[in-house]
Amino acid sequence: MHKLYDFMEARERVGTVIVKTKLIHSNVFSEEAGNDVYIKPENLQVTGSFKVRGAYNKMSKLTEEEKKKGVIASSAGNHAQGVALAAQKLGIKAVIVMPKHTPLIKVEATKKYGAEVILSGEVYDEAYQKALELQEKEGYVFIHPFNDEDVIEGQGTIALEVLEELPDTDIVMVPLGGGGLISGVAAAAKLKNPQIKIIGVEPEGAASAKASIDKDEVVELKETSTIADGAAVKKIGNIDFDYIKKYVDEIITVSDYELMEAFLLLVEKHKIVAENAGILSIAGLKKLKDKNKKVISILSGGNIDVLTISSMINKGLVVRGRIFKFSVDLPDKPGQLVAVSQILAKENANVIRLDHNQFKNLDRFHEVELQVTVETNGEEHIKKIIESFKKEGYVVKRLNSRETMEE
């Protein structure tokens, strides 16, 4: 376990390669959470995530002999780029093993920093095994993404920056995957100020740290299911488990829907784009029992592809009740579309799409189904629209609530 000066020395080491990310005060998340919320935007790091801190700290501490051997890592994303950049800065050969189906954009980003990329295995675990084989065969130094004291030490530098900028911080919210980030942040923050509360935020479908703490031993999940792929870890590190037990006050979990909602607000209100695992701590803000505290949410990364961004925005709009899709059965006679349009116009709902289907209700010969998609201002607005239709004798069936998305 580290002492405070270890983190301070690490900060000196990583200072030459990282961006010192400044806190961003958030009115919108402060209001939603009932706390004074600040975002620590690690998505603005050179490689798009915090991972470069731990990788560089670890690799800069290698002996000259180890540096000559070169390093190897397995990763499908952020760790790969962190190791590759650190290797480039330190003049070390880096080999990164990535699963075969890693998006090309991530492969190219890693190669851009001069690393040799080997595509192997269908899933991360198979890529990891390949990396271990190559380490054995070629004598490379293995750089683990989270289960490593020097990597943990590098990640802890985030806490020192936060407390320098906002010394009276009450709570730090940290995304939790393998456990490296929260281990470093929790240890450094508590060593600096033991009164600070550290809360980890995990995806509901990959809550390996919560399962481990509940059982008081490292637990391996049978499977993971979450859109936060960067935190979809079946088993946290055993070193990280010890840190979490000692320094972390609470672990909360969030659903994919809560992530979609947080993503939309972050894009819309702050013009910040982040990856799904990166916003775990933002999605967790609503679940804080504490109120009127100074809260830091670490936004851990921003490496997300454009198609996923589009999907997250659309689903976020549905979850927030900003897009309302419904169907209504109409008598098959002229003037019905005009009547529907008038109700929507009166309620200031902006029509995005209309589907008029005469053949949907074959069992009810004299009716047609109209499917309508409108833009709204949220759930209260949707209730008013449904009420207006009811008054005019129409029955509305909602097609895109969170419940229908789950079906």
111 and 233 share a domain? no
Considering Cα of 83, then 88, then 89, then 91, what sign does the dihedral take?
Answer: positive
- Give the tens place of pLDDT for each residue, 31-53: 999 999 999 999 999 999 999 99
Q: Name the residue type at position 305.
A: D
**3-state secondary structure at position 322:** coil
Structural domain including 300 reads 4-50+149-316
Last residue of a domain, one of 290, 316, 342: 316
Report CA torsion sign: 230, 269, 310, 225: positive
Q: Are residues 271 and 381 in the same domain?
A: no
Choose one of 264, 295, 316: the last residue of a domain: 316
* Same domain? 222 vs 298: yes
Q: Are residues 163 and 223 in the same domain?
A: yes
- The tens digit of pLDDT for each residue in 262-276 reads 999 999 999 999 999
Task: Show the beta-strand stretches assigned E in 137-188.
Answer: 141-142, 171-175
What is the residue type of 157? T
Q: Identify the sign of the CA torsion 229, 199, 45, 62.
A: negative
Residue 355 is inside which H or E element, if any?
strand 350-357
Residue 46 lies in a domain: yes
Residue finishing a domain among 316, 336, 353: 316
Please state, as a whole number, how many other Cβ atoms lie within 10 Å of the Cβ of residue 344.
Answer: 17
The pLDDT assigned to 402 comes to 58
Work out the percent of the chain whose per-residue pLDDT is above 90: 65
Two tokens at 259? 């992530």
What are the residues whose beta carbons fall under 8 Å from the beta carbon of 96, sequence distance 6 or more?
72, 73, 74, 75, 80, 83, 84, 110, 115, 116, 117, 118
Both 234 and 126 in one domain: the answer is: no
Residue 198 has pLDDT above 70, yes or no: yes
Active site residues: 51, 300
Kindly state whether residue 327 falls inside one of the protein's structural domains.
Answer: yes
Closest listed residue to residue 17, CA positions, set 48, 51, 46:
46
Residue 82: pLDDT over 90: yes
Query: Is residue 58 one of the residues assigned to a domain?
Result: no
Instruction: Compute the distance between CA of residue 135 and CA of residue 70 in angstroms, rounded to an integer.
Output: 10
Residues 182 and 209 in one domain: yes
pLDDT of residue 404: 47
Q: Name the token pair of 337.
A: 């579309």
pLDDT in tens, 97-146: 998 888 787 888 899 999 999 999 887 778 889 999 999 999 999 999 99
DSSP state, 301? B
- 260 and 389 together in one domain: no
The values of phi and psi at residue 393, to 5°, are 90, 15
Which amino acid does the sequence have at 296? I
What's the whole-model pTM score? 0.84
